[in-house]
A = this chain, B = another copy of it.
Amino acid sequence: MAIQIGQKLNSKEAFELAIFEARKGLGFVAPNPPVGCVILDKEDRLLAVGHHQKFGGAHAEVNAVQSVKDPEKLKGAKVFVTLEPCSHFGKTPPCADLLCGLPVSEVHFGVKDPNPKVSGRGLEKIQSAGIQIVSAPESVQEELQNLIRVFWVNQTEQRCFVALKVASTLDAQMALPNGESQWITGTEARTQGHILRAHYGSILTTAKSVLRDNSSLNARVEPFNEKEIPVFVLDPEGSLASTLKNLNLSKVRRPESLFVITTGAQASRFEGVMASEQICKMETPQGQFSLKEVLQWVWDRGGASVMVEAGPNLISQFVSAKTFDQLELFLAPQIFGVASEMSWSQSLGLTKMSQALKFQKVSYQPLGQDLWISATHRSNFSQ
């Protein structure tokens, strides 16, 4: 964004800039949400920006306020923050207290804290200090909510946020009938896939996918090259045990960032290969793991969000169970011809249009010859 200090901004522009700032924290702040802050002086000129840069580090408001060299300029200033300022002592002191002590006239906030225990408290504190509270304009609400979608699900449903990554032809094929799939999409789309690995912060895959592609499942793109991304592998047959140490998966991450979910019968094959706390034993009563149990195990291991990267079998299992929050679909302008087993969905037996899985907050972005569609699904975890 080509915006400079001193430039006059309206409320919508200030929030757009704050969102842009917030996004810089994606991949670094989890399980905290990304937050951005913008300060305009009393004449609506841009004074400072800040974002939450790293988990455990200073919050966006602190970074923005500290970058103002001349405190005089904060008199009558307006603070724009994408998420309600915190009111409690966590790893840092409450931002609401910081703002209360400033001579600013208004605090504009994006979304209230989703945690029902603290929601609204930060704003009350600020208001009682004589600072006017203003909510963000309607035109940026969707983007503001989208920004904290993972944190929202974590806080309100106490569960892991689930994204499905699909690279497909226009006719919904993830591979040729013989399984070949490298590469359906071009380099730009695949690079965005690496960025999403970093943003979502952990990967769920299958032993079959790992053995076929020998993928590292890391994010080979700046600034995420050094980021270690935990991987959870579904391996009901224990087929990974014998080769695990030689796979690229193991070469690019420490043993504590690699998890296997296998059956009680096969778990012994991983003895001596992995530490016991890296192994989840789970049964497959209907021939497959319960996705909810798998996701609970991921959540218990600190997975705030997980991106499912696997073949059509696991992806369509998630689609059929409606157990996902976001679809990250990379569409390549080509046709393979529909073969049921290589499609990323399977028959859902719908009888009415109203039963279709519908998406909200759909964004479209061309990437080279391909198209990236990111869309939010109202999941049925609560059912």
Please give the residue numbers on chain A whose beta carbons come within 8 Å of chain B beta carbons, in ascending order.
Answer: 169-172, 176-178, 180, 182-184, 316, 319-320, 327, 329, 333-340, 343-353, 356-359, 362, 364, 366, 369, 371, 373, 375
Pairs of residues from A and B, 3 with the lowest C-beta to C-beta distance, nearest first: A337-B348, A172-B172, A333-B359
Chain B residues whose C-beta falls within 8 Å of the C-beta of A350 in the assembled complex? 176-177, 336-337
The answer to whether B334 and A338 have CB atoms under 8 Å apart is no
The answer to whether A178 and B351 have CB atoms under 8 Å apart is yes
Q: A349 CB to closest chain B CB, in angstroms?
A: 7
CA distance in complex: A375, B327 (Å): 24
**Majority DSSP secondary structure for residues of A touching B:** loop
Known: A176-B351, A334-B358, A335-B357. 10 other contacts (CB 8 A): A170-B327, A171-B345, A176-B350, A177-B349, A184-B353, A333-B359, A333-B362, A338-B346, A339-B347, A371-B373
Q: A343 CB to closest chain B CB, in angstroms?
A: 4
CA distance in complex: A171, B184 (Å): 16
Copies of this chain held together in the complex: 2
In the complex formed, the residue of B with least CB distance to A343 is B338
The answer to whether B369 and A362 have CB atoms under 8 Å apart is yes
Most chain-B CB neighbours within 10 Å: which of A171, A336, A347, A359?
A171
Given A172-B170, A343-B171, residue A349 in contact with residue B333 (CB < 8 A):
no
CA distance in complex: A249, B363 (Å): 37
CA distance in complex: A304, B178 (Å): 40
Chain B residues whose C-beta falls within 8 Å of the C-beta of A183 in the assembled complex? 353
In the complex formed, the residue of B with least CB distance to A184 is B353
The answer to whether A320 and B337 have CB atoms under 8 Å apart is yes
Given A170-B172, A172-B172, residue A347 in contact with residue B337 (CB < 8 A):
yes
Q: A317 CB to closest chain B CB, in angstroms?
A: 12
In the complex formed, the residue of B with least CB distance to A348 is B337
Chain B residues whose C-beta falls within 8 Å of the C-beta of A319 in the assembled complex? 171, 335, 337
Chain B residues whose C-beta falls within 8 Å of the C-beta of A182 in the assembled complex? 353
Given A170-B373, A177-B347, A364-B364, residue A334 in contact with residue B352 (CB < 8 A):
no
The answer to whether B338 and A347 have CB atoms under 8 Å apart is yes
The answer to whether A338 and B333 have CB atoms under 8 Å apart is no
Chain B residues whose C-beta falls within 8 Å of the C-beta of A344 in the assembled complex? 171
Given A171-B172, A340-B340, A347-B177, residue A335 in contact with residue B364 (CB < 8 A):
no
